[in-house]
Chains A and B, each alone.
Chain A
Amino acid sequence: MAGGIKKFVVGCFDDEKVLFPAVKNVRKAGYKIHDVYTPFPVHGLDHAIGIRETSLHTAGFIYAITGTTTALTFISWVFTKDWPLNIGGKPHFALPAWIPITFELTVLFSAVGMVLTFCYLCQLAPFVKKHHFHARATDDLFVMAIECTDKTNDAEVQAFLQQAGATEVNVQNAETGWWIGRYDREQKLYKEEKGY
């Protein structure tokens, strides 16, 4: 329920070559792009939309050193304090033997942590739903959603998108957060908001 219901002007493009100048012009005109949904990863689009660099790798580094520390402290506590064993006459503090496990835990922590963080950042999880601006965004359409404020004249934005080369333009009221439930949720909202 994080996002709340907002109004969007949605424009669909059927070509990358049209999409890129459109993105540029929309940003230049001062409209706020909520997101652009594409059927495949489009190189350089993130940069064009102007979203900041992800900090996922920083999170990954922190998870990794957490894993390293966990492994080293736990193994060294077990083998020197809690339950010292004589293994082949090796010293109790047998660092070389622990390196593989330390490495594994470093990788495991960073991998699992980064996947979960990635899911959180992208608002993805099992059984969790998000509003679809256009079903064909997963097939062959590039779908740009522009967020409206109270002052936005949506007819003007629609005309602007049409002129920028959008093949299909409409206005949608949508929940921007993620929720558990049915995909037709926004339909109900749309009816309630008829007099908007």
Chain B
Amino acid sequence: MNHQFQLPGSYKKWTYGLIGAGVIALLYGFIALHPFEQAGHGHGNASSTRFWAVLLQNSVFWLLVVNAAMFFLCVTTMAMGGWQVALRRVPEAISSVVPILGVITFAILMAIVWGGRTDIYHWLDKEAVAKDAILNGKKGFLNPIFFSVWSFLTIFGWWALGRKMRSLSLKSDQNGPMDYETGKKWIWTNTVYASLFAVVFTLTVASTIPWLWLMSIDAHWYSTMYSWYTFASTFVSGMSLIALFIIYLKNRGQLEYVTDEHLHDIGKFMFAFSVFWTYLWFSQYMLIWYSNQPEETKYFIERIGTAEKAGPFKGIFFFNVIVNFLCPLLILMKKGSKRNWTVVTFMAVLIILGHWIDFYQMVMPGTLHEKAELMPFEFGIACLFIGLIMWGAGQYLGKHSLLAKNHPFLKESMIHHT
């Protein structure tokens, strides 16, 4: 069988359609929302704040989602997981979008930080920081120079190590099957780069990057649960995205060796990390609710409000639990549903939407407060990023073989049985 995939016209049509819709939304934003007008922290020009907040939410979310695909590859590589070999070109393709979204995200972050958008990041306001004991104490971490340098190094690290992992995989296609010694050495090289990626990932996604990019919106507030919570959100969305691509390619008659067994395992990841997300979501809420200290409860008062007055994000906040916890828990629990393409497709879309909304309620309350909106502009920008992911992943899938045919663990993957 030929493992070379020709991108069908319908795929391209959808890709360019989504990008087109996104570009229209972006143009609308440039014209109608006056993004270059200044707005002070907490008051003033809500429409320009909206423009940057929506871009921040989408760029960070989608970048972390595509990067999660590479994290999945690295983790299974380090664990000597053979089962992913038959499908590994799919996460590779998704992670190949990291440089594109990385550049866009970096540009947006720099525009916010060096454009002095104190409405997004309050800690950019030098006068306010000087008067504020808490922000003053965080000055060493929350300042434009550290922010820029660390963001750059982070995105560079994801890009460089991800590229290395992909090129190792692609190069193996060119030579014939590996003998024992070559294979052992090749697996070792993979493991080394996967471990390096995991270290970079831990220092960034699992700790500093969510603090810098998202948590610093609510600069006075902090939560030690926040980075894991962000990671869980993006990882489960990443697994859902992988599932969507696999089902699409299977429907096109590709990925000959990927069976229901593989999809079952992906489904398990979607199920398990939905539960893990809930664990962190709830722990963060419960500890703050329990200790009941004003500087900590502020975060939730901005979202769900108090017993007397409901906050503007109350509906979204509880919508999250239903979509990101109850639905995956009850629908994906059965073995049969994890093997059913229709159910997995539906759940994958639902999970990605749910976590996109989750990021929405991370970014909006601290920037737009009750003025946040969920209108075509918000969805249009999301379309732009989805289109870019489809375009980048499509380039990779169309250019390279869909099977890592010389991978030493290929047979293990072919006979994989859960």
Could you tell me the distance between the alpha carbons of A90 and B289 in the complex, rounded to whole angstroms?
9
Given A61-B333, A88-B292, does the pair A43, B286 have CB atoms closer than 8 Å? no
Contact A99 B286, beta carbon cutoff 8 Å:
yes
Could you tell me the distance between the alpha carbons of A96 and B333 in the complex, rounded to whole angstroms?
24
Contact B290 A96, beta carbon cutoff 8 Å:
yes
A97 nearest CB neighbor, chain B only: B290
Query: Contact residue range for chain B?
Result: 10 to 19
Given A61-B333, A88-B292, does the pair A96, B417 have CB atoms closer than 8 Å? no
Closest approach, in angstroms, between the C-beta of A95 and any C-beta of chain B?
10
Contact A96 B286, beta carbon cutoff 8 Å:
yes
Could you tell me the distance between the alpha carbons of A61 and B282 in the complex, rounded to whole angstroms?
22
Q: Name the interface residues of B244-288: CB closer than 8 Å to any CB of A.
A: 282, 285-286
Could you tell me the distance between the alpha carbons of A100 and B333 in the complex, rounded to whole angstroms?
21
Given A61-B333, A88-B292, does the pair A97, B417 have CB atoms closer than 8 Å? no
Q: Name the interface residues of B316-336: CB closer than 8 Å to any CB of A.
A: 333, 335
Could you tell me the distance between the alpha carbons of A43 and B415 in the complex, rounded to whole angstroms?
12
Partner of B417, one of A44, A91, A100: A44
A88 CB contacts on chain B under 8 angstroms: 290, 292
Contact A99 B333, beta carbon cutoff 8 Å:
no
Q: Mark each residue of chain B from 383 to 418: 1 if its CB lies under 8 Å from any CB of chain A, else 0.
A: 000000000000000000000000000000000010
Tell me if B's interface is mostly helix, strand, loop or mixed: helix
B307 nearest CB neighbor, chain A only: A91
Most B CB within 10 A of own CB, among A57, A88, A90, A96:
A96
B287 nearest CB neighbor, chain A only: A96
Closest approach, in angstroms, between the C-beta of A184 and any C-beta of chain B?
40
A61 CB contacts on chain B under 8 angstroms: 333
Closest approach, in angstroms, between the C-beta of A62 and any C-beta of chain B?
13
B285 CB contacts on chain A under 8 angstroms: 96
Given A61-B333, A88-B292, does the pair A99, B282 have CB atoms closer than 8 Å? yes
Query: Contact residue range for chain A?
Result: 10 to 19
Given A43-B417, A44-B417, does the pair A97, B286 have CB atoms closer than 8 Å? yes
B290 nearest CB neighbor, chain A only: A97
B292 CB contacts on chain A under 8 angstroms: 88-90
A97 CB contacts on chain B under 8 angstroms: 286, 290
B282 CB contacts on chain A under 8 angstroms: 96, 99
Could you tell me the distance between the alpha carbons of A91 and B289 in the complex, rounded to whole angstroms?
12
Could you tell me the distance between the alpha carbons of A89 and B289 in the complex, rounded to whole angstroms?
12
B285 nearest CB neighbor, chain A only: A96
Q: Mark each residue of chain A from 97 to 140: 1 if its CB lies under 8 Å from any CB of chain B, else 0.
A: 10110000000000000000000000000000000000000000
A44 nearest CB neighbor, chain B only: B417
B289 CB contacts on chain A under 8 angstroms: 96
Could you tell me the distance between the alpha carbons of A43 and B417 in the complex, rounded to whole angstroms?
9
Could you tell me the distance between the alpha carbons of A99 and B286 in the complex, rounded to whole angstroms?
9
Could you tell me the distance between the alpha carbons of A44 and B335 in the complex, rounded to whole angstroms?
17
Could you tell me the distance between the alpha carbons of A97 and B286 in the complex, rounded to whole angstroms?
7
Closest approach, in angstroms, between the C-beta of A87 and any C-beta of chain B?
10
Closest approach, in angstroms, between the C-beta of B304 and any C-beta of chain A?
12
Could you tell me the distance between the alpha carbons of A44 and B417 in the complex, rounded to whole angstroms?
9
Closest approach, in angstroms, between the C-beta of B357 and any C-beta of chain A?
21
Closest approach, in angstroms, between the C-beta of A60 and any C-beta of chain B?
10
A91 CB contacts on chain B under 8 angstroms: 307
A57 CB contacts on chain B under 8 angstroms: 335
Could you tell me the distance between the alpha carbons of A96 and B318 in the complex, rounded to whole angstroms?
13
B335 CB contacts on chain A under 8 angstroms: 57
B290 CB contacts on chain A under 8 angstroms: 88, 96-97
B288 nearest CB neighbor, chain A only: A96
Could you tell me the distance between the alpha carbons of A96 and B283 in the complex, rounded to whole angstroms?
9
Sampled A-B contacts (5; CB under 8 Å): A57-B335, A88-B290, A96-B286, A96-B289, A97-B286
Across the A-B interface, the 8 shortest Cβ-Cβ residue pairs: A96-B286, A96-B289, A99-B282, A97-B290, A88-B292, A43-B417, A44-B417, A96-B285
Seed contacts A96-B282, A97-B290; 17 additional CB < 8 Å A-B pairs: A43-B417, A44-B417, A57-B335, A61-B333, A88-B290, A88-B292, A89-B292, A90-B292, A91-B307, A96-B285, A96-B286, A96-B289, A96-B290, A97-B286, A99-B282, A99-B286, A100-B286
